[in-house]
Amino acid sequence: MMISTRGRYAIRLMIDLAEHGTTDYIRLKDISERQDISQKYLESITTTLSKSGLIDGAHGKGGGYRLNRTPEEYTIGEILRTTEGSLAPVACLGCDAKKCERESICRTLPMWEKLYNLVNDFFDSMTVADLMKQDAAAGFFGASL
Amino acid sequence: MMISTRGRYAIRLMIDLAEHGTTDYIRLKDISERQDISQKYLESITTTLSKSGLIDGAHGKGGGYRLNRTPEEYTIGEILRTTEGSLAPVACLGCDAKKCERESICRTLPMWEKLYNLVNDFFDSMTVADLMKQDAAAGFFGASL
DNA sequence: CCTATTCCCTACCATGTTAATAGGTAAAAG
DNA sequence: CTTTTACCTATTAACATGGTAGGGAATAGG
């Protein structure tokens, strides 16, 4: 498995913020109820997103979270890399890649690199706004591939 | 991480078999030494490949493993799905997918399906023979993506 | 036959990751 | 000064990964 619940929840959270909050702060409690995800687990995700500057948090009454860009300006790739770390398909690639001494003779490395690029490009070509537009009826739109 | 050592070792093993054995059986001991992978761990991988009919094993002196098709006839996708299970990027997809009750309203499912197809097509379009042809100097050939 | 060689089979284990939960502290609003 | 909310630091149960250990069964050669 490539993408865990953490990354998937992060995307749903960003879509939720985009749909419900234009300027107001949205309470985690509301998102938790709408998305049916434990509030505590969501907290750990918002902490990451907030520290990376993707969202903005406010304490106290009337507080919550808010996007600080328009939905068009968030790529899915950025959200996933922030919450999941690198999207590298194998351990030899990515940010915390462990140096492999077979690298120079490896017959498979070019393949992994190609897939890595493919995956990054795929997610970077989609924004939160794109996912908002879709309704469920659009399902299997990828079947044309 | 999407592909673990199991799948990566399986590919290296298949390439090794393709390069060293035309008709003869190749001992696991030799592959283990050439590829620098524990013989015991390789055993667990060959067992899977053998049961699925990808390779053929022979006991006793002069025994070992052998491909039972030409390298052109093995796609990387087939090898990976055999050793790793489904290549699904998320838990909602693939062979042992857990039914999700949000499926009908999920805004992200189409995206996962599209990626799933992309990854399967990627690996199914490459064969063991393709990887044999490559030398290390070909590295980063995927940068054109 | 006997013995060496090889695949084959089952079990076990150590480590790390995932998906959470628990229980607090700090800041802001009223 | 109380409520509400984000924020911070553990802890945990379950599972996956990446192996290791110790045999058994089949085959070839002598």
β-bridge mates for residue B58, sequence order:
B64
Q: How many domains does chain A have?
A: 1
Read off the pLDDT of residues B120-140 as tens digits, 9 standing for 90 and up.
Answer: 999 999 999 999 987 655 544
| Ranges assigned E (strand) in chain A | 55-58, 64-67
Contact flag A111-B126 (C-beta cutoff 8 Å): yes
A142, part of any domain: no
Condensed to tens digits (0 to 9), the pLDDT of residues A91-139 reads 999 877 777 888 889 999 999 999 999 999 999 999 999 999 876 555 4
Tokens 């490949």 correspond to what residue? B49
Instruction: Return the CATH number at A85.
Output: 1.10.10.10
Chain A: give the shortest CA distance to residue B144, in Å: 9
Residue-wise pLDDT for B107-121, tens only, equals 999 999 999 999 999
**Does residue A144 sit within a domain?**
no
Report the 10 Å Cβ neighbour count for A60. Answer: 7
- A4 is a domain residue: yes
The answer to whether residue A141 is domain-embedded is: no
Check pLDDT > 60 for residue B141: no
Contact B108 A140 (CB under 8 A): no
How confident is the model at residue A135, as a pLDDT? 65
B27: nearest nucleotide, CA–C1' criterion: C6
Residue with tokens 């790739």: A77
| A145 domain-assigned | no
**Mutation to test the B interface, candidates A17, A37, A102, A115, most B Cβ within 10 Å:** A115
How much is the pTM? 0.91
Residue A143 falls within a domain, yes or no? no
Range of the domain at A55: 1-136
Q: How far is B139 from chain A (nearest CA, A)?
A: 5
For chain A, give the percent of residues with pLDDT over 70: 92
Give me the pLDDT at residue B54, please: 98
Between A132 and B22, the more confident residue is A132
